[in-house]
Amino acid sequence: MEIHAVTKYARVSPQKANDFAHLLRGKPAVVALTELDLTRNKSAALFAQTLRSAIANAENNLDLKKENLIIKTATVGPGPMFRRFRAKARGMAGRIRKRTSHFTIVLTDEKKQVQGKEA
């Protein structure tokens, strides 16, 4: 069973947030949430919010225990960019791109198979 949660239009660049997505993949949801809560970073706070939403979806909609949930995928996609301009020398303008991200977390309650044994 797969449970999805999405956070859209987060005001952090996808490159910065992708580091935290890499740390989350394959971990139990409770352990990952603890690690995110202890990390002081905007991306970590946004991923924690998305992970809490996914856990709540699993508990309320499917009656699953949060101790049994594992993060199957954690992805960061680019969102729309805000385009701003700053005055430069000799009457020119420099473009400033303020990036946004879409966070997606997929949880599963199935145990991993490691060489034919349950992990």
* pLDDT tens profile 37-76: 999 999 999 999 999 999 999 999 999 998 999 999 999 9
Within a domain: 118: no
Within a domain: 97: yes
pTM value is: 0.84
Task: List the CATH number of the domain containing 77.
Answer: 3.90.470.10
Within a domain: 27: yes
11 touches 102 (CB < 8 A): no
CA distance 92 to 105: 42
Within a domain: 119: no
Within a domain: 99: yes
| Range of the structural domain that residue 92 is part of | 2-110
Within a domain: 116: no
